[in-house]
Structure 1
Amino acid sequence: MRAFIAVTDNQWFNFLEQEIGIEEVNFWQPREKLQFKAIRTGEIFLFKLHHPDNFIVGGGFFSHSSSGIPCSLVWEWFERKNGVSTLNELRNKIEKYRHIPQHHPQTRYADYKIGCIVLTQPFFFTRDQWITAPSDFHSNIVQGKTYDLTSGLGKELWDAVVERLQRNNSFLVKTKPEAVIFGEPTLIRPRLGQGAFRSLVTDTYQRKCAITQEKVLPVLEAAHLKPVSEGGLHSLDNGILLKRDFHTLFDQGYITITPNYRVCVSKKLKEEFHNGKHYYQFHDTEIWLPPLSNQQPNRVFLEWHADTVFQR
């Protein structure tokens, strides 16, 4: 069981600790290439302010990371959960970290590609609860450091975090790091929020539409098979990546996907709009599926959509 202590932008932390009831945050990285493999899904990710503020001030549970995402899409996914109030502010922060002159006409609408570290169930300690960083977390550490929570400084850190979480009654958390959940040692199973759902579905489907194979990222959207308003969850098996127009038609019942993963286009499309040739070419074609069975659309949710939403 491990935790990652990340050097954290003070303004990012100050902004997010004021947000009420957020279920996820994006610990974004200003550079395009991101390979964050320090901890596994469900392990803890802690915020440590910049030196000389050597305190751990909060954290969250690691969901997944993603790289090379246009900042406009990152804003669409997470909005204020990026730790800023507007897309322009996000762009300005990226330029600051990249040492790019701000407010230059040529970069005013630049869609910088950045990295995302998605955290669920974030928590923020009050000033009197801040934890002094471990003694071996040196001031020259730029990004962060991983700790084993089962012994030494890591265990001391974990005990301090658990004590504060229990005091705050934030949520139920396992007090034994060695506990095994879902086959892997994890502290908690992350509950995806809307932004995390969009990000995870996009990467799981390798950034291409499951029906058309379209790869132009700005026109792709993560669709729910069963809407949240109908009791569906932000879960990977309740999602699929679709081109925006196919997403609209899916939500309105003009297209469905059968439990054997084939596209079915409603005759209503032609009857009501006297068109739809582009969409009918995909009728009865097989969709592209992620390689792992637990990543693929749940057949129960597909049946629900076909029975409840699809216009026959």
Structure 2
Amino acid sequence: MPAFNRSDGRDVHVYDAKDPDTVIGGLVLTSGITNANLYSMVEIICFIDGIFFLRDEYDTTIQRDDSSLHPGKYYILTAGTVTPSDEPWLVRTISAGTGTRVAAFRDAVRDRDGRCIITGEVALSGHRGLWAGFEAAHIFPLAYEQHWTNYDYSRWITVPATSGGSINSVQNGVLLRDDIHTLFDSYLISINPDDGYKVVCFQPDGKNIAGKHLDQQFLEDPRRPVDQLLRWHFRQAVLANMKGAGEPVFECDFPPGSDMVGEILSGPRAGEVMEFELFSRLAVGDKPKATGY
């Protein structure tokens, strides 16, 4: 099963100044990414012992400010040490959960949002029951419910789910256009709650959403997603796209008659992908094991 290479096309590259020949990670630069954003992203993909700052390839110190980031090589300077993060990335593929426990979640998200919260496109016929082209997306994936339980993510939930457990609270969901949902689940786009709820694209943006901010009406709704879950998703997106060579993006289009299982088993991280696919589709029983944050 072919896997997309997230590092292909990077025009921002990050190095430890003490080891300038080994790339730590990088980024495909899109609209809205600032110098301050790069600093915060570096703090996710690396453990840095002590105060640090960034310099570009022209030996210019980069300020931690809202100036637009430019393509190029960036070097971490610190009196301490720089170690690539070992924080785990949870494998995620594009599979919609099914069953009654997800239906209540879907209905709650539709009722609250009524539109794609990233593009702003309204589901004009939603009030008549027509939601074609719009999907309720879990921010934290349903397949990792055991991880959710182990790390007590439910402590952030203030609006209980009507069924299916706290992971199916409306506060763990957003309504997205179906194409945006695919990008969101692939961690190719995310929302940074610590930068004005800005949409960050990790691949070239053909939808004019990079750098947009979520609208105030959505943010003022007490049922909106909690910051901690948006922050978790953004952190996962940074790890997936920026650390090392990046994580694979898995095939999700299996035409009728194709050997889905064979393609998965011949691809990267086959066991984790197969486990995620099974539990995402069934949405019942034990969930994939995961460790970390």
TM-score, reference length from structure 1:
0.34
**Structure whose alpha-carbon radius of gyration is higher:** 1
TM-score, reference length from structure 2:
0.36
Higher strand proportion, which one?
1
